[in-house]
Amino acid sequence: MILIVDSGSTKSDWLAVDNNGNKLMEKVRTKGLNPAILSEKKLSKIIRKSQDLKDNKDKVTHVFFYGAGCGTDNARTLLQGVLKEMFSNAHVEVNEDTLAAVYSTINTPDEAAVVCILGTGSNCSYYDGEALHQRVKSLGYTLMDDASGNYFGKQLIRDYYFNHMPENVKIAFGAKYNMDADFIKYNLYKQPSPNAYLANFAEFMFLHKDSEYTVNLIKNGIRLFAKNMIFQYKEELKTVPVHFAGSIAFFAQNEIKEVGEEMGFKVGNFERRPIDGLVPFHTKDL
């Protein structure tokens, strides 16, 4: 049994397939497994909470994990140890989520492209057809993650409290979410995964795209992401497309295309859930 895992900070999707890529059980979903934020104990607890994973742990021969927060050696080593403890018979590989985005969005295995992730967090890399290159080291959601779910969640909350929302939008936002200050601060400062908490608010934008306010909010976030991340690869952008993965990117396709035309980069493919494109990649040589 081969486990292929695509994990953000909010949720993790687990696919179990055989050597030919045939699905062995229904997709398993757990909470997100971000080793840059969660402790070893918490990571292990999340995995072991799944009865399906526990029931099949001894059958697993390979684990290919792609996740947010796996961009440093320490984080990868931490999570690899947790997975190896659970799946003791398996070969375990842990990679950053950008690599999953690359494999699921490029048109051919050797295609060069700038590949972006816009989900709970955000990231951007250049794939030269063989290897991944990053020019900005992520400092996490507090300082970076432009145009991500947690970025937009933070902007929405700020605009609500600073009275920058149109009145009708503010009323709708307050009706959908608990905007009590103590409740918000409790979730941000007392609970685990505040980035995932913030990202939950981003859905509001896509439910209210009839408002000029929300469309501008999305575009401004994309512009900031392009300025800080995509344009790290100015020379490469002259010849390669920019592909996007993640839910935020998927639902903001129109705004991304408009910003791409405005700022001068070629928008390529969109993939909401990279995990589906990883199955043929990991089974073709087994």
CATH number of 27's domain: 3.30.420.40
Residue pair 237/201 in contact by the 8 Å Cβ criterion: no
Q: Where are the alpha helices (DSSP H) in 49-180?
A: 51-56, 73-86, 97-105, 149-161, 167-176
pTM score, whole prediction:
0.80
pLDDT value of residue 167:
97
46 Cβ neighbours under 8 A, 6+ residues apart: 12, 30, 31, 33, 38
Q: Quick one: tokens of 233? A: 């690869």
pLDDT value of residue 286:
57
Torsion sign, CA atoms 136, 131, 254, 203: negative
Residue pair 258/216 in contact by the 8 Å Cβ criterion: no
Classify residue 167: in a domain, yes or no. Answer: no
Closest CA to 150 of 229, 208, 205, 230: 205
pLDDT value of residue 274:
84
Classify residue 69: in a domain, yes or no. Answer: yes
Q: What is the DSSP letter of 166?
A: -
Classify residue 225: in a domain, yes or no. Answer: no
Classify residue 65: in a domain, yes or no. Answer: yes
Cβ-based neighbour number of residue 280 at 10 Å: 11
Classify residue 37: in a domain, yes or no. Answer: yes
Classify residue 221: in a domain, yes or no. Answer: no
Classify residue 74: in a domain, yes or no. Answer: yes
Residue pair 100/273 in contact by the 8 Å Cβ criterion: no
Residue pair 239/76 in contact by the 8 Å Cβ criterion: no
From first to last of its 286 residues, the chain has per-residue pLDDT tens of 999 999 987 889 999 999 888 999 989 999 999 999 899 999 999 999 999 999 999 999 999 999 988 988 999 999 999 999 999 999 999 998 888 899 889 988 899 999 999 998 999 999 999 999 999 988 888 999 999 999 999 999 999 999 999 999 999 999 999 999 999 999 999 998 899 999 999 999 999 999 999 999 999 999 999 999 999 999 999 999 999 999 999 999 999 999 999 999 999 999 998 887 788 777 766 5
15 Cβ neighbours under 8 A, 6+ residues apart: 3, 4, 5, 23, 27, 275, 278, 279
| Number of compact structural domains in the chain | 1
Instruction: State the Cα–Cα distance between residues 12 and 52, nearest whole angstrom.
Output: 14
Classify residue 244: in a domain, yes or no. Answer: no
pLDDT value of residue 277:
72
Give the range of the structural domain holding residue 46, as residue numbers without chain letter. Answer: 2-100+275-283
Virtual torsion, Cα 137, 154, 38, 16, nearest 10 deg: -90
Instruction: State the Cα–Cα distance between residues 12 and 9, nearest whole angstrom.
Output: 8
pLDDT value of residue 13:
92
